[in-house]
Amino acid sequence: MASVKATLPTLPTLPNLSENPTEKIYQLANIIIEAINQGKSVTAPNKKLIVEAAEAIKSTTIRITSSNSEKSSQDTPNPLTPNPTIQEDTLRRVFREELEAFHTLSTPSKAPTYASLTAKTPTKPAILVKTPTPDGDNAKPAIQTLREQISFKDKNFAPSKITQITKDKLIIEVENPQQQKETLEYINQFEHLQASIPKKRKPLIIAKGIHSRIKREELIQIITTQNTLPTESIRLCYLTNNRNPKLYNAVLEVDPSVYARIIGLERIAVDLQRVHVAPQTRFIQCHSCLQFGHTKNKCTSKTKPCAHCASPDHQIDTCPTKNAPESACCYNCAGKGQIRNIQDTQLNLNHSATDHKLCPRIRAAKNRIEEATDFGY
């Protein structure tokens, strides 16, 4: 199997193409067909080739149209007989419009990420604060511990926003770097609090459908060698199951400098395969306690509410109203089930606690993760 760097066909220069416009268009169309049929997906270099060929077709068609228009203007057509030139011009105009639409679809673009889909204004300077790890469900949350220990009464500013991200960690946002520096020094004076400037994490990608004959310990070496990538630019995080038992998926952490390049390829070479790659979020949600940052296998909470109706008495598998959309009540948006009547709050609670599209808590958690990720652009 050829690697991603395989030699691609080059577009012949116009002098080497047929002088006959019809034959020239036919040759260019064949170039497009050949580029598309090279593999299961169209690579970025082939997309560029296709666009160049389409542009050449478009310019050739325009020249034909212009030539025919000049000839048409020199003749006096009989208004009672059909004019084949007008019919041809109409067809060519439609053809040009189709080519322009194709050009828009074929032009390579930067791969979409959660960051681009949920783009916001630049984030303010922030401080990551770690409090003592809470013990049990009745332990104080990090934000309450912080409020009991520190005060901004003597400061000439106040935090712009305080957000709890896990049970023992929170983010404090301020207006400028000077406030960030003062807040950092102030909080670190307290024995049980640890403050630091949060560092952006490297982005994740997922490679789907790797054959099981590829061993875990040799995967990174194969990917970096076949795709001409620095060995230190990729780290294997974990493996996941694929629908096909003979295949597996690999979640990789990559340097920001190569992230856009890898995602732009859409497929990477892995031994005898061309494996699909896509962005991977760090967001995870526990389907037992419905909180974020850990999975069901690592959950220590005794509270196991229903993801559909927020009831603490059962989980969604045995929920009597799970098929009734109107009975949905988000456990997290309802203040961990304390609000039972949707009319008692201005929040929209009528959704599942695991609904990634409707739940504002999930969207906010994803946004925080993506804002803390360095995508390299």
Query: What pLDDT score was predicted for residue 192?
Result: 84
Q: In this structure, what token pair is assigned to residue 146? A: 């912080």
Cα–Cα dist 92/132, whole Å: 72
The yes-or-no verdict on residue 285 having pLDDT over 70 is: yes
- Which ranges constitute the DSSP H helices of the chain? 21-36, 44-74, 84-106, 114-117, 142-149, 177-187, 216-226, 256-265, 360-371
Query: What pLDDT score was predicted for residue 274?
Result: 92
The contacts of residue 119 (CB under 8 Å, 6+ apart) are none
Q: In this structure, what token pair is assigned to residue 151? A: 């005060």
Cα–Cα dist 34/18, whole Å: 18
pTM of the predicted structure, to 2 decimals: 0.51
Highest mean pLDDT among 58-62, 126-130, 131-135, 136-140: 126-130
Fold of 126-196: Alpha-Beta Plaits (3.30.70)
- CA 320-324-328 angle, to 5 degrees, is 90
Highest mean pLDDT among 23-37, 74-88, 103-117, 200-214: 200-214
pLDDT bracket for residue 191 (50, 70, 90): confident
Instruction: For residue 200, give the H/E element and its range.
Output: none
Query: What pLDDT score was predicted for residue 5?
Result: 42
Distances (CA, A) of 244 to 158, 236, 241: 54, 21, 8
Tell me, rounded to whole angstroms, the distance of Cα 264 from its chain centroid: 12
Do 207 and 275 contact (CB within 8 A), yes or no?
Answer: yes
Least confident interval from 87-101, 188-202, 319-333:
87-101
% pLDDT > 70, the chain:
66
The yes-or-no verdict on residue 129 having pLDDT over 70 is: yes
Q: What is the pLDDT of residues 24-69, one digit of tens each?
A: 676 777 777 666 666 556 666 667 777 777 777 766 666 665 565 5
Residue 171 is classified by DSSP as E
Do 129 and 77 contact (CB within 8 A), yes or no?
Answer: no
The yes-or-no verdict on residue 140 having pLDDT over 90 is: no
Cα–Cα dist 220/13, whole Å: 40
Query: What pLDDT score was predicted for residue 114?
Result: 40
3.40.50.2300, 3.40.50.720, 3.30.70.330, 3.40.630.30: which CATH number matches 204-280? 3.30.70.330
Secondary structure in 3-state letters for 339-356: CCCHHHCCCCCCCCCCCC
The yes-or-no verdict on residue 110 having pLDDT over 80 is: no
Least confident interval from 57-61, 314-318, 327-331:
57-61
